[in-house]
Amino acid sequence: MNKIIRFTIREYMAAVKTKGFIIGLVIAPVMMSGGFLAFLLLKDRVDTTDKKIAVIDHTGVVVEALIDAAENRNKNEIFDEESGQKVKPAYFIEVIKPTSSDTMQQHLELSDRVRNGELHAFMVIGSDVIHPGEDKLGDDISYYGKNAAMDDVRRWTGWPIYNHLRKLRLADAGIEESQVPELFQWIDVSGLGLVSVDESTGDIEDAREASPIEALVVPIAFMMLMFIMIMFSVPAMLNSVMEEKTQRIAEVMLGSITPFEFMSAKLLSGIAVSLTSSAVYVFGGLFVLTSLSLQGYIPFFVLPWFFVYMILAVMMFGAMSASLGATCSEPKDAQSLSFPMILPALIPMFIYFPIAKEPLSSFSTWMSLIPPFTPMLMTLRMATPDSIPLWQPIVGLLGVILFTIIFVWAGGRIFRVAILMQGTPPKFANIIKWAIRG
């Protein structure tokens, strides 16, 4: 045990004393939050070039509303109130008369004007949009542009057109809008959690407002953190063992420690590295959320599960990583093994969204009970506001423990055979043979 501890300390210090570790510790969260930060920093950096939109209005009465809305917007919304600087593009509406002959030809000509940059887009308002119905052909509004799906102008046109159509319909029905101002008042449906009893006072507590932070951001952050921890330590183990083998350090070490002690120390140092990094992130995250008075969103009960699952995940993947590292005689071998080795940790990354959205579905339950996926997916599910039945994390934990034992056992056998073997490429059949026969 003394030897394992000594070797573990050496491995741990060798890992954490490097510039790469310290830089990685800082860079990983920056990269994770980089997209969000970039969005915040760049959200006001919009294209202020004016945009002209051609409109073919088959009703003849809707386009006026767009013209008025555009003029109003150009006057009141596109300049910064304090500096007077233009911060948004102005919109201009060009009215095009509908053709009675070749509609497609007209649309083609307008499309060419868009391609030439003369127009930003063009719009066709159907003849029956005021009183649409199943038997009517012209009850739609079409927007043609280079990138219509993401076009801000398209989104902007919706409200003025809808508002004007509403007025026209009320007028046709002989109702004045001022008589029924609340007729179209939109009432939002608020998302709330569940009402509960405060255990300390016995009082009934009102439910807290549901938040996307609680529903998605926190669970995904937990899962991402575990993924980063696995990526932080597991591939490093493969490279470290391979280096010790190729640099002929392994046999020197085996003169003092057994292969079991060798691999155990590698695993323990991997766990120690992961715990160090995760502790920095978890406690850093708790500090930030508490400082922002957002501690209510932290599922504290998940933290012990997170650490237990993370330790087992590092052991499970680490055992295979160290043993596969022992089969490599050159960096090329390690490169070819890296992807299959991290694949079990990557799969949860592909399927996390439906699981975070519906953590109680059969798909979510079964996927999170597959041992290599359990640490990441069960933590994700548990961190959602839904209540996961307790038996599931317990069964998941037992499965992971069983798999970890199998992986460590098989990894130890592969490691013992392969660590002194030179020049034998790591073929899948050999690896299986060594795992079974030892």
Partner 1 sequence: MMSLIELESVSKTFGKHVAVDKLSLSVPKGSVYGFIGPNGSGKTTTLRMIMNILPPDSGKIMVFGEQLKSTSCDRIGYMPEERGLYKRMKVRELLIFMGGLKNAENLKSNVDQWLERLELSDWANKKVETLSKGMSQKVQFIATVVAEPQLIILDEPFTGLDPVNTEVIKDAILDLQSRGTTVVFSTHDMSMAEKMCDFIFMIFKGNKVLDGTLNNIQDKYANDTIRIRSGNGTAVFKDLKGVEKINDYGRLQELRIADDADPHAILREIINRTRIESFDIVKPSLHDIFVRIAGSEAEEVNNE
DSSP for 360-419 reads: TSHHHHHHHTSTTTHHHHHHHHHTSSS---THHHHHHHHHHHHHHHHHHHHHHHHHHHHT
Output the six-digit token pair for 133: 């119905």
Q: Give the shortest CB-252-to-partner 1 separation in angstroms.
A: 6
Q: Where are the alpha helices (DSSP H) in 49-174?
A: 63-76, 103-116, 152-172
User: Binding partner 1 by CB under 8 A: which of 248, 291, 304, 362?
Assistant: 248
Displacement of CA 413 from its chain's centroid (Å): 38
43 to 39, 46, 157, 190, 219: CA distances (angstroms): 5, 7, 21, 27, 26
**Are the C-beta atoms of residues 234 and 317 closer than 8 Å to each other?**
yes
Identify which of residues 7 and 281 has a Cβ nearer to partner 1 in the complex. Answer: 7
- Of the candidate spans 2-10, 74-82, 338-346, 374-382, the one that interacts with partner 1 by CB under 8 A turns out to be 2-10
Output the six-digit token pair for 241: 């063992």
Q: Does residue 247 bind partner 1 (CB under 8 A)?
A: yes
Which DSSP category does 79 fall into? B
Q: Does residue 413 bind partner 1 (CB under 8 A)?
A: no
Q: What's the helix, strand, coil split of the chain in %, to 5?
A: 65, 5, 30
Question: What is the radius of gyration, based on Cα positions, of the chain?
Answer: 31
Residues in the chain, how many? 438
Binding mask 254-293 for partner 1 (x = CB under 8 A): xxxxx-----------------------------------
Q: Does residue 249 bind partner 1 (CB under 8 A)?
A: yes
**Are the C-beta atoms of residues 164 and 145 closer than 8 Å to each other?**
no
Q: Considering only residues 369-388, where is the footprint of partner 1 by CB under 8 A? A: none
Q: Give the shortest CB-275-to-partner 1 separation in angstroms.
A: 22
- Of the candidate spans 162-170, 241-249, 336-344, 351-359, the one that interacts with partner 1 by CB under 8 A turns out to be 241-249
Q: Does residue 336 bind partner 1 (CB under 8 A)?
A: no
User: Binding partner 1 by CB under 8 A: which of 77, 152, 206, 251?
Assistant: 251
Q: Give the shortest CB-256-to-partner 1 separation in angstroms.
A: 4
Q: Give the shortest CB-310-to-partner 1 separation in angstroms.
A: 27
Q: Give the shortest CB-322-to-partner 1 separation in angstroms.
A: 17
Binding mask 32-71 for partner 1 (x = CB under 8 A): ----------------------------------------
Distance in angstroms between the alpha carbons of the first and the last residue of the chain = 23
DSSP element (H, E) containing 429:
helix 428-437
Q: Give the shortest CB-383-to-partner 1 separation in angstroms.
A: 39
DSSP for 303-328 reads: HHHHHHHHHHHHHHHHHHHHHHHHH-
What are residue 240's phi and psi, to 5 degrees?
Answer: -65, -45
Identify which of residues 120 and 416 has a Cβ nearer to partner 1 in the complex. Answer: 416
Q: Does residue 14 bind partner 1 (CB under 8 A)?
A: yes
Q: Give the shortest CB-391-to-partner 1 separation in angstroms.
A: 41
Q: Give the shortest CB-229-to-partner 1 separation in angstroms.
A: 24
CA-CA distance, 97 to 57, in Å (whole number)?
Answer: 7
Q: Does residue 432 bind partner 1 (CB under 8 A)?
A: no
Q: Does residue 436 bind partner 1 (CB under 8 A)?
A: no
- Of the candidate spans 53-61, 88-96, 214-222, 246-254, the one that interacts with partner 1 by CB under 8 A turns out to be 246-254
The footprint of partner 1 on this chain (CB under 8 A) covers a number of residues equal to 19
Residues making contact with partner 1 (CB under 8 A): 2-3, 6-7, 10, 14, 244, 247-249, 251-258, 420
